[in-house]
A and B are shown apart, each in its own frame.
Chain A
Amino acid sequence: MDFAFTKEQLMFKKEIIRFAKKEIVPRVQEHDLHKQFDFESFRKLGEFGILGLHFPEELGGGGADVITTVMAGEALGEAGVDGGLTLAYGAHTFLCSDTIYSHGTPEQRKKYIPKLASGEWIGCMGLTEPNAGSDVASMTTTAEKKGDKYVLNGSKIFITNGPIADVAVVYAKTQPEKKHAGISAFIVEKDTPGYKSGANLIKMGVSTSQTSELFFNNCEIPASHLLGKEGDGFNMSLQTVEWDRSALLAPFVGAATFMLTRCVEYAKTREQFGRTIGQFQAVKRKIANIRIFGEAARNLVYRIAWCKDQKKPLNHLEAAVAKLFVGDWSLGPSNDAVVLHGGYGYCHEYDMERIFRDSRLAPIGGGTSDIQKMIISKLI
C-alpha cells in the first residue's frame, strides 16, 4: 500500500487552487445568490484544461490519469468553488463527454470531444424521468428506429445543464417491453426539432447549476447518433458510476477542507466572553469533526480513482460505500460549520450555508443513499 501522490500531482493541485481562487471564486457568491450559471467561469475551466483533463491530447484533452482528474475536483472544492459549478462540470465532463468518449465511434469522438473539452459546447446527460428515478429500468422514453433515423418520445427531469446544453446524452428504450436490456443511449443536439428543455428548476442548493426537464416530441435524430449498440445503454450508465463515485464526489471532499480552513480562521478571530471562540472546547470539537470527515472521505474517493487507473473492474460495493459515506456523513460536519459561524453562518456572505445546501445533494444525486444501501446489502 502507498498513499502518496506524485510531486506533479501535488503541484498541479496547488495550481488549480490558485487559478480557481483568482478566476472563479470571486464570482461565486453573486451567481449563487441569483441562481445563475457562470458561463465565464465555465469557459475558464475549459481554458485551464479541466473540462477535458482525462481525454487524449489529440481530442483536445490533457491526457491525465484518473487520480489527477479526481484531484482537480477536490482542488476546486478546496478553493471554494461552489457545488453548482462543480456539478455542472461533473455532468458535462463525466456524464456526457466521457460517455461519448468511452462508447462513441471515432467520428462521434472527433465531432464532440474537442468542443466539449474546450468548453465551447456544454453537455448534459438525461437518464432520470418524472416517474423513473431510482428505478431506472422503468423509464418510458422511447426511441423507435425508422429507416436511418430514431424517433424519440418522452421526457427527462432533474437534468443538470439541461437548459444550457448544446449536446445531450439521452437514454431511451429501443425495446420498451424489456427492462435494463431495452435501454440504449443517444446523442441529441440542441436545435434538433422535437427536442426542448424546460425552465431552470429552483433548488435548495447547487444553485448555479441549471437543472431542467428535457422534452422529446417525435424528435428525429440520425441513426448514427446511437452510442454503441442498441440495448447497451444501461451498462453505459453504470460505467459513469466510476466517475460519479470519484470525480463527482471529490469536490465534496475539497469542500470539507474549505470549511475547515474557514472555520479555523473564524474561530481564531471571533471573540465572545472575552476570548476567541476557538478557545472553547465545543468549537474545537466542531473543527475536529470537519477534519475527521474530510480525511475519512478522501481515502474512499481516491480508492475508486486508483482502481480505475489500474484498469480494475469497478468494485460496486466499494463505490456504493464511498457514495453513501460522503452523502450521509457530510451532514454533521457541514452543519457544524454553519453553527460555528453563529448567525453569520446562516448568512450568504459567509459561504457556510451555501456549502451546507450544496452538500445536501450528495445523498440524492446519482443514486440516493437508500439505493447505495440496496446495492451494498445485495453484494454482501
Chain B
Amino acid sequence: MNYDFSEKEFSFFIELHQLLAKYAEGKKLDDCDLAGSENNLRQATAMLAGTPYLKLAIEPVDGFNGLLTLTGAWEVLASISPSLYISVETSARIFGRIISAWGDDVQKKKWLPEILSGKVIGAVGLSEESLNIDNAPLATLGVLNGDKVEISGRKQYVVNGPMADWFAVVGNMGDKPAIFMVEKGNPGLIIGARSATIGYGGAAISPLELKNCVIPAANVLFPADAKSMTATLRLWENQILMGASLGLMKTAFESARTYAKTHKTGGKPIIAFQEIGFKLSEMLTLFQTSQLFAYRTAWTSEKDPKEAESLTLCAKVFCTESAEQVACEAMKILGGAGYLSGNAVEQAFRCAKYGQIAGTSTEIARVKIGDTALGLRN
C-alpha cells in the first residue's frame, strides 16, 4: 500500500501547473468565440505535447503510472481551465484511446502520432437521441460499397465538433459495431452550429449529421462487440468527468478559502465565523474524499478492469455530485462577488452540473451500481 504519489509524479504536477498557469495568464480560456476556442485548444495541445501529459494512459511513460498519474494531472489542467480540459481530453484521451484500443497498425500509425503531438484535434460522436442507457442500439449506420463506406446518422453534443480535424463516429456496420473516422470537410459531414451551454464556455460543442457521407473502408475501426464498445467509451468519459470534478473542486475550494481569509466583515476575516470556516471544512472533506476515491478507481482500472467498472460509477457519482456541492458552497462564501459573472467559482458552479448529466448520468449510474450489487449485471 502507498497513499502518496512518487516524487517524480509530484514534480510533474508542479511543472505542469507552472506551464499551464503561465499559458493561461491574461487569457479568457473559458469564455471565447469559436476562433478563440480553436486557437487556445491548438496552442495548448501543442504545448502539452512537449510534456508526458498527452501520452498518459495511451502509451507507457517511464516512471509514471498510466491512468493513476493521469488522474493527478487531470486535476491540474481542469483547475486551470475546465473548457480547455474537456476539449483536450476529448481529443487526446477519448479519440486517442479509440485509436490505440481498436485501431489496426496502419490506423494507429496514421492518427496516433498526430493526436499525441497535438497536430490534429479529434472529436467523438457517440450520443444519439435514442442512446441513453447503453444497451440501446445505435442508429448510425455504415454500408460497405466496394472499398468505400457510406454513413448516415445524427450525433448530438459533440465536444470539439466545430473545430476538430477528425471525427470518430460510433455506429454499426452490418451487425458489427464500427467506428467511422471522418475527416473535416468530407462531403456529407454536416457540422451543426455551436451550441450555447451554461458551462464550459470555452469548449465548442455541436451536433453532427452524416448524410450519404462516404469514407474509405480503411478508415473504419472494428471494436470487439457493441456492448463492450459503448461501455468502454462511457467508462473513459466517466473517468474524464471525474478528473474535471477534481479540478473544479480545487478551483472552487481554493478561491473560497483565499476569499474567506482576506475578506473581512465586522473587522474579522470571514473564515473566523463558523458558518464559513465549517463550510470550508465540509468542502475540503468532499474534495479529499473525491481525490482518494478517484485515485483508487484509477489504480483499480489498471489492476482489475472488471472490478473497476462498477467502482468507477461509484466514484463518478461521488466526485461529480461533490463538485457541484463544493462549487455551490464556494459561491455562497464569496457572497455577492461569487454571483458576478466571470469569476472562477461561478464558472466552476456552472461547469459542475455537466458532470452529472454527461457520461453515465448519475441516475443511470446508481441504477447500474444497484444492478451490479444485486447480480443483475456482472
Which residues of chain A from 365 to 380 have any CB-CB distance to chain B below 8 Å in the complex?
370, 372-374, 376-378, 380
Residue B104 CB within 8 A of the other chain: no
Instruction: Tell whether, in the assembled complex, residue B369 and residue A324 are in contact, meaning their CB atoms are under 8 Å apart.
Output: no
The reply to whether B278 and A284 contact each other, CB–CB distance below 8 Å, is no
Q: Is the CB of B370 within 8 A of A295?
A: no
A158 at the interface (CB under 8 A from B): no
Interface string of B265-295 (1 = CB under 8 A from A): 0000001001001101110110011001101
Q: Which of A328-380 contact B (CB under 8 A)?
A: 328, 370, 372-374, 376-378, 380
In the complex, the answer to whether B1 meets A2 with C-beta atoms within 8 Å is yes
Closest to B4 in A: A1
A112 at the interface (CB under 8 A from B): no
Q: How far is the CA of A324 from the CA of B285 in the complex (A)?
A: 7
Q: Mark A271-304, 1 if CB is under 8 A from B, else 0.
A: 0000000100101111111011001110110110
Q: What A residues does B317 contact at CB under 8 A?
A: 288, 292
B8 lies within 8 A of chain A by Cβ:
no
B 351-378 binary contact with A (CB < 8 Å = 1; else 0): 0000000000001011101110111100
A295–B375 alpha-carbon span in the complex (Å): 18
Q: Specify which of A291, A320, A325 is in contact with B373 (CB 8 Å cutoff).
A: A291
A308 CB to nearest B CB, Å: 11
Q: Kindly identify which residue among B3, B274, B288, B370 contacts A285, using a CB–CB cutoff of 8 Å.
A: B370
Secondary structure dominating the interface of A? helix
Counting contact residues on chain A (CB < 8 A from B), the size range is 35 or more
Kindly state whether residue A307 has any CB partner on chain B within 8 Å: yes
How far in angstroms is the closest Cβ of chain A from B217? Answer: 42
Contact B3–A287 (Cβ < 8 Å): no
Given contacts A284-B374, A300-B289, contact A3 B299 (CB under 8 A): yes
B300-323 contacts to A (CB < 8 Å): 300, 303, 311, 314-315, 317-318
Query: Do A306 and B318 have beta carbons less than 8 Å apart?
Result: no
* B278 x A370 contact (CB < 8 A): yes
Which range holds the interface residue count of chain B?
A: 35 or more
Known A-B contacts A267-B374, A295-B293; A377 and B271 likewise in contact (beta carbons under 8 Å):
yes
> What's the least CB distance linking B227 to chain A, in Å?
20
Are A284 and B281 interface neighbours, CB within 8 A? no
- Are B292 and A284 in touch, CB under 8 angstroms? no
- Most chain-B Cβ atoms within 10 A of its Cβ — which of A1, A260, A284? A1
Cβ of B170 within 8 Å of any chain A Cβ, yes or no, is no
Measured in the bound complex, the distance between the Cα atoms of B278 and A281 in whole Å is: 34
Would A292 and B314 count as touching, CB distance under 8 A?
Answer: yes
Q: Does A5 contact B (CB under 8 A)?
A: yes
| B288 and A321 contacting across the interface, CB-CB below 8 Å | yes
CA gap between A315 and B65 in the complex, in Å: 25
Confirm or deny: B341 has a beta carbon within 8 angstroms of a beta carbon on chain A: no
Q: With contacts A264-B373, A278-B376, A285-B367 known, is A1 near B68, CB below 8 A?
A: yes
Q: Given A268-B374, A281-B367, does the pair A295, B281 have CB atoms closer than 8 Å? A: no
CB neighbours of A287 from chain B (8 A): 369-370, 373-374
| B1 x A306 contact (CB < 8 A) | yes
Are A376's CB and B299's CB within 8 A? no
Which one of A285, A300, A302, A324 contacts B281 once the chains associate, using CB atoms below 8 Å? A324
Asked if B5 CB lies within 8 Å of chain A CBs, one says: yes
B332 contacts partner chain A, Cβ-Cβ < 8 Å: no
How many angstroms between the C-alpha atoms of A2 and B280 in the bound complex? 29
The reply to whether A306 and B3 form a contact with Cβ atoms under 8 Å apart is: yes
B299 in contact with A2 (CB, 8 Å): yes
- In the bound assembly, the distance between CA atoms of A2 and B302 in angstroms comes to 11
Q: Given A288, A296, A318, which contacts B369 in the complex, CB threshold below 8 Å?
A: A288
Q: A1-B5, A288-B370, A291-B369 are in contact. Are A376 and B285 (CB under 8 A)?
A: yes
Residue of B nearest to A318 (CB): B288
Question: Is A85 an interface position by the 8 A CB rule?
Answer: no
Known: A1-B5, A1-B65, A380-B257. A284 touches B293 (CB 8 A): no
Question: How distant is the Cα of A3 from the Cα of B4 in the complex, in angstroms?
Answer: 10
Kindly identify, within residues 1 to 22 of chain B, every residue whose CB is under 8 Å from any CB belonging to chain A. 1-5
Task: State the B residues within 8 Å of A (CB).
Answer: 1-5, 65, 68, 257, 271, 274, 277-278, 280-282, 284-285, 288-289, 292-293, 295-296, 299-300, 303, 311, 314-315, 317-318, 363, 365-367, 369-371, 373-376
A-B contact pairs, 10 of them (CB 8 A): A264-B373, A267-B374, A287-B370, A288-B317, A292-B317, A295-B293, A296-B318, A299-B292, A377-B274, A377-B280
Shortest 6 CB-CB contacts between residues of A and residues of B:
A284-B370, A377-B277, A376-B281, A299-B292, A288-B369, A373-B281
